[in-house]
């Protein structure tokens, strides 16, 4: 397994597209920070409701910028991560080099989880880069500040949600094994799904049904976890939901990979 991981990481290091995606997400993180820094009050309906009708002030500091960074990049980071994953994973299948890996004696399960571990490393690279840039920007523009009681809890859960998103996009790549198709699903399919869920929300609201089905969508987890005023039931839902999403799609991908001809 160690030799396989070394091979997979070596392949990733040589993949230029990964560096391009990392550079783009770094630029997006910078733009997101500037929007956050120069917006007097970050409007959030949950903040408004919890404050009794008066908007609370945002936490202008390095730690505050870190905490809210993922909320602002809740769609951009999964997008760039998905593109990088698709290029990294599917290249072996489209070029049939995966057969050479199997010929060296590695099992499908070993290859599957080795690729997933590298995929997690790609996600962690982007996540830490966003956190670092946000912290530096917040510190230079305002002050270092100090983390509040929910900081580490929310940040670790954001990381868990990103791992779950990685599992979903990894599953798509393994199931499709076609680069254009995987990118279309990751980029267009997820947005289409979100639009459908939002439409259902509007229909339910028009019938005075107090339920938002879009809150089940994992993309909404990052936005909500960027808010320090998140209620405990919603936090627990995001935490448990991330675990369920990750376990379900990782298992489904493994089952599909076992039966795949490639």
User: 35: which residues sit within 8 A by CB, 6+ positions away?
Assistant: 72
User: For residue 209, what pLDDT band results from cuts at 50, 70 and 90?
Assistant: confident
Q: Identify the pLDDT of residue 262.
A: 64
- Whether 22 shows a pLDDT value over 80: the answer reads yes
Q: Select from 62, 200, 191 the least CA-distant residue to 133.
A: 62
Q: Comparing 33-47, 127-141, 235-249, which segment has the lowest mean pLDDT?
A: 33-47
pLDDT for the residue numbered 146 = 83
pLDDT bracket for residue 54 (50, 70, 90): very low
* pLDDT of res. 12: 92
At 58, is the pLDDT very low, low, confident or very high (cuts 50, 70, 90)? Answer: low
What's the average model confidence in pLDDT over 99-118? 92
Average pLDDT over residues 194-223: 89
d(Cα 114, Cα 143) in Å, to the nearest integer? 41
* pLDDT value, residue 75: 81
CB 25 within 8 A of CB 65: no
For the whole model, what pTM was predicted?
0.88
DSSP H helices in the chain: 2-13, 16-37, 45-50, 62-72, 76-94, 98-103, 108-141, 151-176, 179-184, 190-206, 219-225, 232-259
Query: What backbone phi and psi angles, to 5 degrees, belong to 26?
Result: -65, -40
Choice between 64 and 239, residue whose per-residue pLDDT is larger:
239
Query: Domain residues for 169?
Result: 2-259
Place of tokens 């199931």: 175
Choose from 45-59, 135-149, 248-262 the range with maximum mean pLDDT.
248-262
Question: Into how many domains does the chain fold?
Answer: 1
Contacts with 166 (C-beta within 8 Å, 6 or more apart), sequence order: 81, 85, 116, 119, 120, 122, 123
């Amino acid at each position: 397994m160690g030799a396989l991981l070394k091979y997979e990481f070596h392949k990733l290091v040589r993949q230029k597209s990964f560096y391009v995606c990392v550079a783009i997400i770094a630029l997006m993180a910078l733009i997101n920070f500037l929007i956050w820094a120069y917006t007097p009050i970050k409007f959030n309906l949950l903040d408004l409701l919890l404050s009794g009708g008066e908007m609370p002030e945002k936490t202008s500091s390095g730690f505050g910028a870190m905490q809210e960074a993922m909320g602002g990049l809740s769609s951009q980071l999964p997008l760039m991560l998905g593109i990088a994953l698709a290029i990294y994973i599917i290249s072996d299948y489209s070029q049939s080099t995966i057969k050479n890996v199997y010929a060296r004696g590695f099992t499908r399960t070993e290859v599957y989880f080795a690729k997933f571990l590298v995929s997690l490393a790609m996600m962690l690279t982007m996540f830490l880069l966003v956190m670092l840039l946000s912290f530096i920007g917040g510190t230079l523009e305002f002050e270092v500040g100090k983390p509040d009681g929910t900081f580490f809890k929310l940040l670790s859960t954001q990381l868990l949600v990103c791992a779950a998103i990685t599992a979903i996009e990894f599953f798509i790549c393994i199931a499709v094994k076609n680069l254009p198709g995987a990118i279309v699903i990751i980029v267009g399919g997820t947005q289409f799904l979100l639009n459908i869920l939002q439409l259902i929300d509007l229909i339910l609201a028009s019938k005075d049904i107090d339920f938002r089905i879009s809150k089940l969508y994992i993309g909404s987890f990052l936005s909500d976890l960027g808010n320090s005023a998140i209620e405990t039931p919603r936090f627990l839902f995001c935490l448990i939901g991330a675990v369920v999403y990750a376990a379900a799609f990782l298992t489904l991908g493994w089952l599909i990979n076992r039966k795949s001809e490639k």
